[in-house]
């Protein structure tokens, strides 16, 4: 029984295969010259119809596809020179925008330079240097020689002395692309700032830098690292907000909590030793700001400081005149300290010389006494 079941399954599989591929079976006897041909035709038609379905095209019967999407020719990408030549054919200085690069700054730079070339010579005839010497020709001939890491600039303007029309030709040279684009971006930034009625200096003056100082900072770090940080920011004409709090509170401090910062009601009472330490830190900072900055009295009331709470001190850099006076005073103080030091050194040297003379006199008296004793004996 099992053998009969297996044989029936094999016969069914054979008939299914024959109906698909055209292979002869017992019920479909093979006819010479027709079975193979019809099988190939059916196989070809099945393959073509599947391709047509995949490509979204329905082709009835055995109609062959004329072409497939892979046979469609791809458009060749244009070079920057070809794009530029196409744009220059219908050049309009009012609406021209160079589009040879993916970089907006490079396109902007080339747009400006090409407009300047057009102003000097409307026919885009330029002068440039080659290996054989100075050459005159169309702008496209020069642009074709510019490398990927280069761009161009106008060195000078040359005129034809023997030409009655007095035509002018821009003398073009290649320059480093990175440097040229950086200068162009800086120039555009200044122009935008002027256009919107603000300057870089004004924008910087409105910035406020927050400097965190922990109550647990030791005196060495305060006088070296933290002082250098504060002075470097003041030299850059930056307004500062000095926030003094515990180390744990400063670690949790973010921009939102800084904007909502309010002094007071943050800590419990402190012992006398901690109060003396905090008073020393605050006194040092206030003295530093008196010499190097101006404390903003509208935001900072020194008389209301409580050492058991968090504190914020708002300071601004000194005005140029006040800074000059401070530097002059510091120079005078240094000179005075130098004079004192020199006077002190002079006194110390004189004292040392007197001690040496006294020691020499004692040695001489001792020697004379020993000689007199030897003579007596």
- The angle that helices 35-54 and 2-21 make with each other, rounded to 10 degrees, is 70
Question: 332: closest CA among 340, 230, 231?
Answer: 340
The pLDDT, as a whole number, for residue 252 is 80
Phi and psi at residue 309, to the nearest 5°: -120, 175
Using only the alpha carbons of the chain, give its radius of gyration.
47
The answer to whether the CB of 150 falls within 8 A of the CB of 134 is no
Distance, CA of 93 to CA of 111 (rounded, Å):
9
Maximum C-alpha span of the chain? 163
Domain range summary for the chain, segments of one domain joined by +: 2-67, 80-197, 203-318
Which residue is it, tokens 């070296």?
A: 224
> Is 0.85 surpassed by the pTM of this model?
no
Maximum mean pLDDT: which of 128-142, 194-208, 253-267, 315-329? 128-142
The whole-chain average pLDDT of the chain stands at: 75
The phi, psi pair for 55, rounded to 5°, reads: -80, -5
Res. 340 pLDDT band, cuts 50 70 90: confident
**Model confidence at 63, in pLDDT bands (50, 70, 90)?**
very low
| Strands (DSSP E) found in 215-310 | 239-245, 293-295
The domain defined by 203-318 folds into Translation Initiation Factor IF3 (3.30.110)
pLDDT reported for residue 97: 86
CA distance 252 to 247: 9
Residues ≥6 apart with Cβ < 8 Å to 154 = 113, 116, 117, 120, 170, 171, 172
Which of residues 79 and 272 earns the better pLDDT score?
A: 272
């Amino acid at each position: 029984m099992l053998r009969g079941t297996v044989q029936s399954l094999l016969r069914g599989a054979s008939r299914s295969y024959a109906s698909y591929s055209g292979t002869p079976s017992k019920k479909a006897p093979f006819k010479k010259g027709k079975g193979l041909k019809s099988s190939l035709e059916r196989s070809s038609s099945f393959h073509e119809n599947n391709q047509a379905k995949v490509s979204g095209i329905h082709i009835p019967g055995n109609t062959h596809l004329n072409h497939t999407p892979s046979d469609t020719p791809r458009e060749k990408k244009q070079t920057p020179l070809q794009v530029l030549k196409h744009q220059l054919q219908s050049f309009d200085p009012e609406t021209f925008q160079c589009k040879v690069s993916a970089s907006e700054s490079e396109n902007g730079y080339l747009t400006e330079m090409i407009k300047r070339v057009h102003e000097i010579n409307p026919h885009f005839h330029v002068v440039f240097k080659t290996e054989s010497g100075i050459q005159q020709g169309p702008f496209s001939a020069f642009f074709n020689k510019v490398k990927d890491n280069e761009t161009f600039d106008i060195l000078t303007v040359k005129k034809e002395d023997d030409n009655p029309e007095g035509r002018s030709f821009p003398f073009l040279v290649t320059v480093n692309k990175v440097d040229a684009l950086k200068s162009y971006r800086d120039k555009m930034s200044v122009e935008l700032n002027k256009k919107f009625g603000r300057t870089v200096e004004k924008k910087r003056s409105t910035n406020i830098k927050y400097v965190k100082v922990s109550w647990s900072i030791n005196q060495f770090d305060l006088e070296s690292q933290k002082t250098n940080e504060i002075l470097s920011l003041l030299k850059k004409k930056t307004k500062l907000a000095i926030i003094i709090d515990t180390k744990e509170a400063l670690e949790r401090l973010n921009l939102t909590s800084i904007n909502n910062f309010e002094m007071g009601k943050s800590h419990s009472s402190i012992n006398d030793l901690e109060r003396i330490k905090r008073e020393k830190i605050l006194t040092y900072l206030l003295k530093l700001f008196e010499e190097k900055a101006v404390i903003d009295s509208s935001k900072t009331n020194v008389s209301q400081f409580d050492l058991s709470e968090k504190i914020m001190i708002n300071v601004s850099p000194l005005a140029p005149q006040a800074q000059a006076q401070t530097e002059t005073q510091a120079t005078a103080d240094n000179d005075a300290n130098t004079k004192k030091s020199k006077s002190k050194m002079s006194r110390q040297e004189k004292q040392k010389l007197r001690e040496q003379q006294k020691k020499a006199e004692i040695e001489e008296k001792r020697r004379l006494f020993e000689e007199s004793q030897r003579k007596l004996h």
